[in-house]
Structure 1
Amino acid sequence: MADDNRNQMFWSREFARLVGVLTSAHLLSAAEHRQLWAHVYTWESSLAALIHDLLQPESLLAAEHPQLHEVLSRRYYASMQARTETEISKCTHEVDGEPRTDSYRYQQSIHYKDSTIRRQGDENVCDTYRASICPNLDDDFVLRGLLGVGTFGVAFLAHKRSDTRPPKQQKLYAIKVETSSTINTDIRKRTSDPSVAPLYYQQPHQFRYIPMEAYLLLLTAGCRRFPMLDSVYSHGKYKATVMEATVPNEVREKNYDPYAETKDWLKKGLQPLDGSSYLLSREKQTGLNEVTVCQIATQLLEATSYLYDMRLCHTDISHVNYLLDDAFNTTLIDLGLIHFGLRDADFQKSHTPYIPNYEKFMTPELATELLKPNYDNTNFSDGTVQIPLRHDVRGLTLWQLGCIIYELLHGFAPWEEPNPDPDIGRLSDWPKGRSAAQQARRMRKIRERRQRVIREELPVSEDLSQDCVDMLRAMFTKDPEERPKLQELLSMPWFGQSSYWVEMDTLEIRRQAATG
């Protein structure tokens, strides 16, 4: 900022200038600025800070990273061209006398509102979010009900008012409403990444800032494994991202009342299907066969590969972050949980996050660390704990994917005891014991499983095909350096076999019909 040419090596020019204004860089030397605003310099590998110039052909960033520029610009322009003249950011209001929420000037505003729903109460916050939707969105869409309530937002199901077809034939959309932020807010709150970035236009000095998740949906529009972005309505302190909905026919065909109170929508709950819908957790059984799991796994791997091509990595592949339709077509969601690395070093982290609810994703290297005596008295029930253990974000993502596949095939997590125990419950239940004695019993089981993760061979069902067994054994290799990378997984015979099996089943049905 104080040295604009220096910062051009790792930031987009528009971002460097904006942050320079917001942090009064002209009043400081480069060394003083870096010391005072050190956390801003951790954004050197943030896609939001780089995307504008990575898309701009003549920029320094595009010249330094030509392959990444080619992939990003090709996908971005294809997405924009498919939209023809359709505007992406559609809220035109100037709320409370402020400039348009998606404007360059508005990025100087500061929002201090708490952004987590759990601290505000579900019913009240859902009412607030519903009432804060942009009037333009209300004019364009009919809300049918609630799809879900997350930690940071509320998702509504809707259709366009212009769609006059019968209700069961209307195209459905998921509208994700969250509190919005600005670049200035992100600077003051010391967030890990900026939450918005400007759309790239060929005309100079034309900016429309949209949420990064919406930006990523634009970049993934060429892959069926992601929701298709329709529009964004950034309205004051709230933003709504509209995307095509993935819901089963049961949800599509439900009667709806667009004028019902939010509390009534909460009671009904229009539940989409995700991977957990087919896991019978109390019985530790799966409701899926290998062919179906192969289809889901192959499509999740396809989504992961599509992100990798843009040097992106989904850091939270869990059962609730992908959706299924009635034919088990898979859609990866929650792209706010994406890690970007301009260089390979950006994927290397000095600490590994440990989350109690994610015990099932335990790796041998993390288990080894947590079994050390210095962690015996650590309270892990309060949320994420950063463990000083180096890891590659990409490798951890593939381990998570392996755990998801294993659980869909078996009904329980890798190395978890297969027999249900009401006292112990699920892996994620261990910090929630009704008494100290029960919690101690659960903790003992957790330690026993961690020992198995470290020492024992992966147990697999005898009913699985050999290709499936080979894939699982490879994905759960003990040594992280020897685990297969993405390209090796893509070449494994098991992935993609579901289409072959379906074709064989179809041929067999036809053969039986012919021989009658």
Structure 2
Amino acid sequence: MAAHNPPPPFTWPPWGTDFQEFIDDVVELELAAKDHAHEPRREAYDKLQHVCWWYSVLPTVIHDLIDPRSVLAGRYPALHQVLYRRYMASLVGRNAYQISKCPHENDNEERYDSYFHQFYSVNHGSISDRGGLKQALPVFHANMCDQINRDFLVTGYIGSGSYGIVFVGQKRNDPSQKSYAIKIEPYLPNNSDVVPVSGKTAGHPSQAPLFVPGIGGIHNPYIPMEAYILLLTHQCKRFPRLHAVYTHDEFKAMVMDLRGAMAPSDPDLGTPWIKVWSEHKERYYSYGGFDFFRAKFTLLHEYQANKVASQLLEAAMCLKDMNLYYTDFSHANYVVDEQLNTTLIDLGLVQFGLHTRYFRSHHVLHAPNYEKFMTPELAVELAKPHWADQDENMENSSSSIFVEVPIDYRQYSMWQLACITYQLVHGFVPWEDPKWDDDIGLVTEYKVELRDDPHGVKRRRRLRKVRARRQRIINAPLPIAEGVSQDCADALYIMLQQDQARRPRVDDTVAAIPWFGQWNYIPPKKCRRPRFWG
């Protein structure tokens, strides 16, 4: 297809070859549709204007940043070297074509992981839209690629999110009976975000072509961006290793190492946790960060918290070397094994930038679940009447608002990790009231609807508590509990700077803080994870 450049004032960002060709082809198809309907061509460009802002969107450039023959690799040599070296390390013992394993084709005889399938535009609902987890489990399992069932025996499931379900499986004819995590999510070809169907909000593309050493070129198999990042973190123990991707029809699947899992037979679980999904399928449980807490009490000693926090920082530093900054730190997004070795398991929110300016934004998303990461500047803005009204009128815990506050995602990633670290040590988040109140609950729960609160009395009391904490974040010094070591206190003071200009980013300066890494001097038997109490 012939290339078409957008008319002024639109200009395309500097994308990789594959994505640039894809956009050019989409433009041609949209123009042809307008010509056929005798409608103005300008409407086609208006429909695509959001694409003009896709600067530094990783799926649009990752292939060419790795390819040593590309223009982008020559323009960003240091970043290219890091990405190329890590990508090639992930291919030891296999070639790139062995990563995406679904052999099936769509009705047009195109593989689902192909360049040509990226022109499909679809929309898939969340698990709640599908009737909840109980209804979604058999649907996800029945519609996964047949090749998965040929390669693996699915023995159960271990968890779910808003859109995905993680199954557990063992390779057939493998005497070791090693278990793997099989993460199944709805598959959205790239055109789903370029020309979204009715009812879908345009996001960023989520699929990218693999680089094939020795061949390069374009139109290689596409894999999910999360899988790509797992290839690039292959040598870091803080991430699960990716074994294969299966992209089939409505779903995509990633097969990874299973980390932090507790078998259904684990005596710590007790019989209530052994749940049956269907005949011969069991419910596994992963030991995650939330299992460290009871109300506002932490089960960890400081040296145990040190190991978890240090290894989360290790994961953040691994990403930072590739101009990636993780902005979804949560106790739900990492798991630990019996020795508290920590693995980051969800890479859905990662910020990428080719230049410093792409890490900055003039607005920030605020949602009740992010209250634990409240910054002083956001607290100041939310105290203003305009935002206070919007905040108060958010209907439930799933609501969100965009607030006009400058943000640097490199700092915000560090701030999130600092809040996680503070909670590991203290049992509650920074500046939170340390006393537990059944009517208040956690600071993130102020929008949760209560059945015994028809008039919203408890909900308003919760909001008052939240606003009181915001005032402390603005005006009060960071409280540190008695018994916390001076090294730990110093680390928390450095990371939780109230002055944004002095606040650190994820970088070598933070990694050099003396507190991090002190777990290495603790006997291994002391770094065992606490018993699971259910």
Instruction: Give the TM-score, by structure 2 length.
Output: 0.87
Task: Give the Cα–Cα distance (whole angstroms) in 1 for the partners of residues 261 and 102 of structure 2.
Answer: 30
Which residue does 1:299 correspond to in 2?
311
Q: 1:490 aligns with which of 496, 511, 523?
A: 511
Which residue does 1:416 correspond to in 2?
432
Task: Measure how far apart 1:59 and its partner are.
Answer: 1.5
Q: 1:393 aligns with which of 389, 406, 409?
A: 409
1:271-350 → structure 2 map (5 Å cutoff): 271-281=285-295, 284-350=296-362
Answering whether residue 192 of structure 2 is matched by residue 185 of structure 1, we say yes
Task: Measure how far apart 1:186 and its partner are.
Answer: 2.1
Task: Measure how far apart 1:249 and its partner are.
Answer: 4.8
How many residues are matched? 494
The residue identity in structure 1 corresponding to 2:247 is: S
The residue identity in structure 1 corresponding to 2:168 is: L
Which residue does 1:17 correspond to in 2?
21
Deviations 1:463-515 (A, max 9, x none): 11110000001111111110123221111000011102338989xxxxxxxxx
Which residue does 2:99 correspond to in 1?
88
CA contact (8 A) 1:229 1:244 kept: yes
CA contact (8 A) 2:30 2:44 kept: no
Q: 1:481 aligns with which of 501, 516, 527?
A: 501
CA contact (8 A) 1:71 1:310 kept: yes
Higher mean C-alpha deviation, range 30-39 or range 357-366: 30-39
Task: Measure how far apart 1:384 and its partner are.
Answer: 2.0
Task: Measure how far apart 1:99 and its partner are.
Answer: 1.4
Distance 1:74 1:32, change over 3 A: farther
Q: 1:118 aligns with which of 117, 121, 128?
A: 128
CA contact (8 A) 1:2 1:26 kept: no
CA contact (8 A) 1:88 1:232 kept: yes
Task: Measure how far apart 1:191 and its partner are.
Answer: 3.2
Distance 1:185 1:249, change over 3 A: closer
Task: Give the Cα–Cα distance (whole angstroms) in 2 for the partners of residues 143 and 25 of structure 1.
Answer: 41
Task: Measure how far apart 1:33 and its partner are.
Answer: 6.8
The residue identity in structure 1 corresponding to 2:309 is: A
Q: Percent identity?
A: 39
Q: What is the alpha-carbon root mean square deviation over aligned residues?
A: 2.7
Task: Give the Cα–Cα distance (whole angstroms) in 2 for the partners of residues 159 and 504 of structure 1.
Answer: 30
The 3-state SS of whatever aligns with 2:79 is helix
Deviations 1:332-362 (A, max 9, x none): 1211221111111110011111010221111
Which residue does 2:477 correspond to in 1?
457
Distance 1:505 1:249, change over 3 A: closer
Task: Give the Cα–Cα distance (whole angstroms) in 2 for the partners of residues 314 and 195 of structure 1.
Answer: 16
Task: Give the Cα–Cα distance (whole angstroms) in 2 for the partners of residues 31 and 306 of structure 1.
Answer: 44
CA contact (8 A) 2:306 2:518 kept: yes
Task: Measure how far apart 1:407 and its partner are.
Answer: 0.6
Task: Measure how far apart 1:109 and its partner are.
Answer: 2.0
Task: Give the Cα–Cα distance (whole angstroms) in 2 for the partners of residues 328 and 58 of structure 1.
Answer: 42
The residue identity in structure 2 corresponding to 1:472 is: L
The residue identity in structure 2 corresponding to 1:420 is: W
Q: 1:176 aligns with which of 178, 183, 191?
A: 183
Distance 1:449 1:108, change over 3 A: same
Distance 1:261 1:276, change over 3 A: closer
Which residue does 1:370 correspond to in 2?
382
Task: Give the Cα–Cα distance (whole angstroms) in 1 for the partners of residues 413 and 209 of structure 2.
Answer: 28
Answering whether residue 521 of structure 2 is matched by residue 500 of structure 1, we say yes
CA contact (8 A) 2:165 2:183 kept: yes
The residue identity in structure 1 corresponding to 2:321 is: D
Bigger helix fraction: 1
The 3-state SS of whatever aligns with 2:447 is helix
Answering whether residue 468 of structure 2 is matched by residue 444 of structure 1, we say no
Task: Measure how far apart 1:12 and its partner are.
Answer: 0.5
CA contact (8 A) 1:145 1:269 kept: yes
Task: Measure how far apart 1:97 and its partner are.
Answer: 5.0
The 3-state SS of whatever aligns with 2:402 is strand
Higher mean C-alpha deviation, range 200-209 or range 58-67: 200-209
Higher mean C-alpha deviation, range 479-488 or range 238-247: 479-488
Q: 1:403 aligns with which of 411, 414, 419?
A: 419
Deviations 1:408-450 (A, max 9, x none): 1111111111111111111122112532111111111111111
Instruction: Give the TM-score, by structure 1 length.
Output: 0.90
Task: Give the Cα–Cα distance (whole angstroms) in 2 for the partners of residues 96 and 84 of structure 1.
Answer: 28
Q: List runs of 5+ in structure 2 lacking aligned partners.
A: 33-39, 528-534
Which residue does 1:235 correspond to in 2?
248
Task: Measure how far apart 1:78 and its partner are.
Answer: 1.1
Which residue does 1:510 correspond to in 2?
none
